[in-house]
Amino acid sequence: MNSLEINQKIAELEKLATEHKLTIEILQASENKYGQLLENLPQKIFHKDKNSVYVSCNNNYARDLKIQPDEIIGKTDYDFYSRELAEKYRADDIRIMESGKTEYIEEKYIQNGQEVFVQTVKTPLKDEKGNTIGILGIFWDITERKQTEETLKESEERYRTIIEYSNDMIWTLDTEGRFLFFNNRSEEITGFKLKDWRGKSFAPLIKKEELPKIIEVFHKTLNGKPQQYEVTVKKADGSSLILLVNTAPIYSKGKVVGTVSFGRDITERRETEEQIKESLRQELEKSYENLRDSEARYRDLFENANDAILTCDAEFHITTANNAAVRLSGSNTKDELISTHYSDWLTPESLREAMNNTRKYFSGEDVKQLVVHEFIRKNGEHRWVEVKGRILKEGDKTKALHVIARDITERIKLEKELKESEAKYRDLFENAKDAMYVVDAEGNFLKMNQVGLQALGYTKEEFIGSNISKFVTQESLKIVKERQKKRLLGELVKQTDVMEMVCKNGEHRWVEIKTRDIKDGDKIIEIHGIARDITENIILKQKLKKSNKQKKLLCHLIEETRGGKTRALILKHLSEKSINAHQLAKALNMDYKTIRHHLKVLEEKGMITKGQAEYSGLYFISKNIESDLNEMDI
């Protein structure tokens, strides 16, 4: 080999040495990188050989064992744990290395002298030929999760019966969003089984587009805020369903440890709503068509309405009007009415009120409805109209004032005539010779004329509102109650009765009442009555009862009901002195013709006689009753 070849070989060896050095540096950098990564992981990591002897571990694991990482080399589990735990760990190692499969194990672990639960993942390590040369393990503390699961399990047991028989889907999730439980109804609706989903995330079941929203809702619930939402969920058969979900946090010792959700299948409801929406859309289109078709018909109704219909602007001008409005105004065409001002048609007083109300309408204030205005027709005739208005809007903007005006002139005239008639009959009521009154069905006085008030000695203020029981004797009160009872039972009540009244001064007087029931349908609302004072007749009747002769005379005297009292007075005067008709009329302060009438009746009945011419028309008591009258205290 010459010197040139030797130099080439040396150059190749130097190049190989340089590449080898670079490779070693790269490997060392990679080793440092992954070493730092392992050292900074929160999990505990260890490496054992095929005899379960420790080869290495990270700092986290070494700290738990209270050693330095390199001190673990050559140690076994028997050096750190109880025999029972060490044998269990060794048995797990052997099983995994023999099976060649990775295992996930939940097991007990001693940390800082306390027993905790850890989740351990062990996987066999193999060389390039596939031979098992050891085992790699990683584990982390799941004590809190285990406690949470126990808490949730206890809660599940308490409510399982209710939950399993619920018509709604019910499920619980841990704080990581993994299923802890779902009820039978959930299995029935989705087709999934709890055993296949326990410990797995809910995310794969959610429609992709909705997942971010549902994750946000989940975190809000974990923050203690109950939520309600709709979500599309996948079923086992590949189809979807829509759920209405109410979800709330689950607390344990004041801390949120998961969520509970109640879901109701609203798929059919949503489908029905969509069908309804489609149906409504079609109906709306149809309605638009009908609206267009009926526009002419409603325009016809507007034009041919019996009431005047107008629209007005904020400046008090008429902008539209129907045919009735044209007729009411006395105009010949709409053009004569449209664009005219309120002042063209209303009296000054009605104009002020109409303009004030229009301002209120356009400013959104409340306006009294059914306002009456005095209207002046084109020919100068005054009419009365009853007006009702409302605002027409286009969006939020006030467009116009819509007014309906009804001609009530005839009604106003009738009301005026009614008031005049009422005043007339009120005068008759107040100035009647007999007492006239009105009571309600319970016997409370609503009205009493002056004759009645004077007879009883009360003012109107004292009397009105009082019950009839205050003014009658107990015996007469029985009659009143019997009449009320018959009215209540719908029985016939006789129109006439006699009552003994008690005046304010204690005096007793007798009245003959005649009544008439005033009804509203079948219900009695008022009773109108007339009471005639028959006290003198009653007293006379009582006196004449002293003897049979007096009874006969009494019957004769009261045979004509209205004239009984007058005839008794005539007989009394004639028993004291014989006088003529003129003297009797003057003495009794009565009309001469009335006295002549009663004298004639008494003479025809043989009660009195008229003297001969020499007596100048004097009247005498008949001989056949003179002795009876002497016995009477008239």
Residue at which a domain ends, from 375, 408, 441:
408
Distances (CA, A) of 494 to 44, 441, 486, 561: 112, 16, 10, 19
Average pLDDT over residues 458-474: 92
Residues 373-393 have pLDDT tens digits of 998 998 999 999 999 988 888
Long-range contacts of 210-217 (CB under 8 A, 24+ apart): 215/177, 217/247
* pTM for this entry: 0.31
Under 8 Å between Cβ of 584 and 570: yes
pLDDT at 578: 82
pLDDT at 294 over 60: yes
The answer to whether residues 152 and 197 belong to one domain is yes
Residues 542-563 have pLDDT tens digits of 665 544 554 565 455 545 556 7
pLDDT at 547: 46
Angstrom distance (rounded) from CA 408 to CA 307? 10
Residue 270 resides in a domain:
no
Residue 22 resides in a domain:
no
Average pLDDT over residues 557-581: 73
Residue at which a domain ends, from 88, 109, 141:
141
Average pLDDT over residues 259-281: 88
Higher pLDDT, 632 or 226: 226
Residue 558 resides in a domain:
yes
Average pLDDT over residues 182-190: 90
Judge residue 27's burial from the number of C-beta atoms within 10 Å of its C-beta, 0-12 exposed, 13-18 middle, 19 or more buried.
exposed
Give the CATH number of the domain where residue 588 resides: 1.10.10.10
Residue 279 resides in a domain:
no
List helix spans (H) across 390-547: 409-430, 450-456, 460-463, 474-489, 535-544
The answer to whether residues 493 and 590 belong to one domain is no
Angstrom distance (rounded) from CA 53 to CA 47? 8
Residue 282 resides in a domain:
no
Confidence band for 520, pLDDT divided at 50, 70 and 90: confident
Range of the domain at 105: 41-141
Residue 292 resides in a domain:
no
Average pLDDT over residues 212-238: 93
Lowest mean pLDDT among 1-5, 422-426, 464-468: 1-5
Average pLDDT over residues 189-201: 92
The answer to whether residues 132 and 155 belong to one domain is no
The answer to whether residues 438 and 517 belong to one domain is yes
On the CB side of 83, CA atoms within 13 Å amount to 0
The answer to whether residues 177 and 124 belong to one domain is no
Residue at which a domain ends, from 360, 375, 408:
408
Average pLDDT over residues 170-184: 92
The answer to whether residues 137 and 161 belong to one domain is no
pLDDT at 27 over 60: no
pLDDT at 2: 65
Residue carrying structure tokens 């050292």: 39
pLDDT at 615 over 50: no
The answer to whether residues 160 and 260 belong to one domain is yes
Residues 322-361 have pLDDT tens digits of 888 999 899 999 898 999 998 899 999 989 998 998 998 8
Rounded (10°) CA dihedral 613, 614, 619, 621:
-120
The answer to whether residues 477 and 560 belong to one domain is no
With H, G, I as helix, E, B as strand and everything else as coil, classify residue 368. coil
Residue 381 resides in a domain:
yes
pLDDT at 318 over 80: yes
Angstrom distance (rounded) from CA 244 to CA 228? 7
Longest dimension (CA), the chain: 212
Lowest mean pLDDT among 44-58, 100-114, 307-321: 100-114
Lowest mean pLDDT among 66-75, 78-87, 387-396: 387-396
- The mean pLDDT of the chain is 83
Give the CATH number of the domain where residue 184 resides: 3.30.450.20
Average pLDDT over residues 504-521: 89
Least Cα distance to 120 among 131, 135, 99, 98 occurs for: 135
Under 8 Å between Cβ of 148 and 179: no
Angstrom distance (rounded) from CA 588 to CA 568? 11
> Residue 494 has which token pair?
């006789």
How many structural domains compose the chain? 5
Average pLDDT over residues 538-545: 68
Kindly state the helix (H) or strand (E) to which residue 132 belongs, with its residue range.
strand 132-141
List helix spans (H) across 577-622: 581-588, 592-604
Under 8 Å between Cβ of 443 and 480: yes
pLDDT at 26: 54
Residue 58 resides in a domain:
yes
Higher pLDDT, 63 or 3: 63
The answer to whether residues 149 and 257 belong to one domain is yes
The answer to whether residues 107 and 173 belong to one domain is no
Angstrom distance (rounded) from CA 232 to CA 205? 9
- Of the spans 78-82, 304-308, 541-545, which averages the highest pLDDT? 78-82
Sheet strands side by side (includes 54-57): 54-57, 44-49, 132-141, 114-126, 103-111
pLDDT at 474: 93
The answer to whether residues 137 and 151 belong to one domain is no
Lowest mean pLDDT among 196-200, 293-297, 573-577, 619-623: 293-297
Least Cα distance to 543 among 562, 578, 568, 570 occurs for: 568
pLDDT at 480 over 50: yes
Least Cα distance to 329 among 372, 382, 370 occurs for: 382
Confidence band for 161, pLDDT divided at 50, 70 and 90: confident
Average pLDDT over residues 458-472: 91
The answer to whether residues 363 and 402 belong to one domain is yes
